[in-house]
Amino acid sequence: MNSASSFQQKIDTLMLQRKRRKLFNFLLWSLTFFLILKTTVLLWGKVFFPLSGFFISYPVPFLLALGLAWLIHRLFRKDLSTELLSLDSRMGLNDRISTAFEYLTPDKKSLLKEKLLEDAAKIMGGLPQNKILPWPFSPAYLLLPAFLFLQLLIPRWDLPHPGFTGKNEAGQLARIGKFMAEFTREKMQNQDKTESPSGGEPYRELQALAEDLEDQSLTRKELVQTLGEMKKKVREERSRMSRNLMNDLNAGQASDKDSPASQTPTPSSPQALDRLTEKLKDLFEGHLPESLTKDLSRLRENFELEKFLDQALGMTFVPGTQDNNDALLTMEEKGHSRGSESGEGKNSPATGLAEPPSGRWDQEGGPGDSKNGRGKDGRRKEEGQGPPRPGGEGNFTAGTAKGSGEKLTPSELKPGKGSLSQERGLPSGTAPSPSLGVRSQPLFGKTEEIREQNLKGVPFSTRREKESALRQEKIPREYREVIKNYFLSIKEDKGIKPHEQSR
Amino acid sequence: MNRVDEQVDRIKKTLEKIQTELSRVVVGQEELIRQIFICLLCGGHALIEGVPGLGKTLLVKSLGRILHLKYSRIQFTPDLMPADILGTNIVNQDDSGNRFFEFYRGPIFGQLILADEINRATPKTQSALLEAMQEQAVTVFGKKYILEPPFMVLATQNPLEMEGTYPLPEAQIDRFFFKLKIDYPTPQQLLRIIDKTTENEPDPLIQVVGAEAILEMRSLVREVPVADHIKDYAVKMIMATHPGDKNGASRVKQYVRYGSSPRGVQTLILAAKVLALLKDRFNVSREDIREVAKPALRHRLILNLRGEAEGLDPDAIIDEIIQSLS
């Protein structure tokens, strides 16, 4: 074997090892980039919103990782001459190997070529393989385990949202405070001009709250709780006003089907209030009594206030922080229940967002949301249990208890305490998973069974969505009376008087 | 051992013989001898610079005796004329009484020329060497005379003495392959100098290598492989000596008026080739280029007024250039 072929053989071996090394590096970087991208997707899901779907989780990161690894490979690739040059420098070979490699081609001629190749082959033969092609440090060696660790850690780790960290939270509260201050300033000015029927008490409370927020003397939790209490009070106030209004309208005409009260629904929304106002204007031929106008105005103001409180509460929620928002929602509910405990028992709505009952107002008060928490069934109302539960605490058995007698559209199902259930298998002290309680009351047939379903593990967003959908579901206005009268006529045909049916 | 091996071996042995033989009359200066030998094998000329009394002339004179070459010495003085170097036509008469011009060859028609104290002659006379040094030929009265190879000029000059001297023109300086510096001897060397020069007369020097062997070695030197990246390195080094080069060292920009000519890169590569053979290698390395950079480039860097005024040593600039390239 002459010196040229001997050196050529050494170079061939080196090239083969380089190819293997390149392939290894390509796979290493591909895996590293895949893990980085996967971790990014996971983090995105934690911080913003989850990117679900198999395609997003695997094929897209995989292809991107391959592309990035190929890019790295192209950007940092070194040809063999460069590597031999670095070998010469590294091992102090005085450019022997790189020069010999260059003179391996037949077009380079020299008397000393043979001697040069022989010398280079001899030197390469004497070098250990790890010296000829050492394993250089690659950032992938650090990135790979780091992102592998993150990949395993992130699903078990609830990342705090930046919105919850000190300075951001303070800024958020300050913004809410400013928002409140602007609202109250406007309302107070209007009050000065028009002499608001509410007396301005809630606005003064809001103003004080805004000042507290500006002074940063109020935490987010306290704010949510206070707003929840205020919202509850506003609702109670509206219930009271609505009841009074209906009492006024029904005065002396309780049994008269054609009385204004019997023909007008209790306003459960500003739109409903507008419709009621229109209807009353028709009934009174465009000249509403002053007292009635005042009542309606107070109701409208009440709706506006509740809307504002909803907006303020909405501002306290930080998107993407499901668990924290759930916690705050609980606190808002706590605010409601505190209001309930102080005012009308324990029949607070399950979510704090349910609409008050509407329909034909019972003179004795609507069940579950009646005056002082009492419905027709005085005992149950005192207990604040809402609808009848003959089967015991938290159980409802079809046909074994009297119906409430209310004629409700599905959207107007009254709020009530949901069935109590214990999530089995949870260790003591573990917070229950988010759930959604769905209650349904049949409108047709004889059964009065109220069905309840407690959906476990429902995310907060889904819960909000469902509640919103339930709130918005309406029976078209023009069909309501027809449907109601149809069922009333059925009852009357069977000898049951309408007022008895309400039992 | 094949012929190539023999030739490579002969180069090393010749240098060893020269060094051994010269050491009998010259104390120390091994590196200087090696560099002169490199010049010889590359077909270049050397300008040896040193203060008086360091043995410049003795070294060259001794070299002339060791090498089996025609040795000539030209003592440069201010009244020396070009014809005194090149030779001249004189009127002669043959037996029949016819007169004719006959060319009397000057001392330049040797193989190893000692141009002693070259800066003492006027530039006009100094210029007489230009053609000889570059083309190994002289032209007198329109007739060209080829000088016998191997032709080598070893010039000496004194850097201190300025009175009555004429600095070499740039074109002349550039024709020197190396500019070599003689360092002052160490105390131990001085003691040996005392012993060698004040006691017994040394034995006569013997000739170690002839013209034919030198020419063979010269042809072998040109066969040493040089990789492209080494050539690139040499080119970068030469470019870095120019103040206009964007990658030039800061001192170059500050103190250099004009950088090396293309002869500089030829010198770097050729000298590095000899150095590689002397180091038992068959290829030129960047280290070889760096090693020959100072003698090859120091006289090719033309300093500006500021550099001259500050007495800047071109070697320091070359060091910075090497540093900037590594």
Which residue shows structure tokens 């074997």? A1
Any idea which of A299-303, A308-312, A469-473, B282-286 has the lowest mean pLDDT?
A: A469-473
ipTM of this complex: 0.85
Q: pLDDT tens, A17-32?
A: 889 988 998 999 999 9
- Whether B76 has a pLDDT exceeding 60, the answer reads yes
Q: pLDDT tens, A424-443?
A: 444 444 445 555 566 655 55
Any idea which of A80-94, A193-207, A383-397, B42-56 has the lowest mean pLDDT?
A: A383-397
Which residue shows structure tokens 């009353």? A280
Between B25 and A346, residue with greater pLDDT: B25
Bridge pairing between strands B302-303 and B256-258: antiparallel
CA of A18, closest CA in chain B: separation in Å? 22
CB contact under 8 A, A98 and B229: yes
Q: Where are the alpha helices (DSSP H) in chain B?
A: 3-22, 30-42, 56-66, 82-86, 123-126, 128-135, 170-174, 187-198, 211-221, 228-240, 250-255, 262-278, 286-297, 305-309, 314-325
Task: Compare CB distances from A112 to B4, B286, B288 and report the shortest one's residue.
Answer: B4
Give chain A's mean pLDDT: 69
What is the per-residue pLDDT for A32? 92
Task: Compare CB distances from A116 to B228, B283, B288 and report the shortest one's residue.
Answer: B283
CA of A76, closest CA in chain B: separation in Å? 20
Amino acid letter, residue A109: K
Q: What three-state secondary structure class fits B142?
A: coil
Q: What three-state secondary structure class fits B92?
A: strand
Q: pLDDT tens, A308-333?
A: 888 888 777 665 455 455 555 565 55
Candidates B275, B282, B286: best to mutate against A (most CBs of A within 10 A) is B282
HSE value, Cβ hemisphere, 13 Å, CA-based, for B178: 31
Q: What three-state secondary structure class fits A454?
A: strand
Task: Compare CB distances from B223 to A85, A88, A112 and report the shortest one's residue.
Answer: A112
CB contact under 8 A, A116 and B220: no
pTM listed for this prediction? 0.58
CB contact under 8 A, B283 and A111: no
CB contact under 8 A, A119 and B284: no
Candidates A103, A115, A118, A122: best to mutate against B (most CBs of B within 10 A) is A115
Contacts of A342 (CB under 8 A, 6+ apart): none
Cα–Cα distance for residue pair A209/A190, rounded to 1 Å: 20
CA of B225, closest CA in chain A: separation in Å? 7
Q: pLDDT tens, A337-365?
A: 544 444 443 333 333 333 333 333 333 33
What is the per-residue pLDDT for A357? 38
Angle (CA) B229 B233 B234, round 5° = 120
Q: What percent of chain A has pLDDT over 90?
A: 9
What is the per-residue pLDDT for A47? 75
- Whether A396 has a pLDDT exceeding 80, the answer reads no
Between A166 and B42, residue with greater pLDDT: B42
Closest chain B residue to the Cα of A102, Cα to Cα: B227
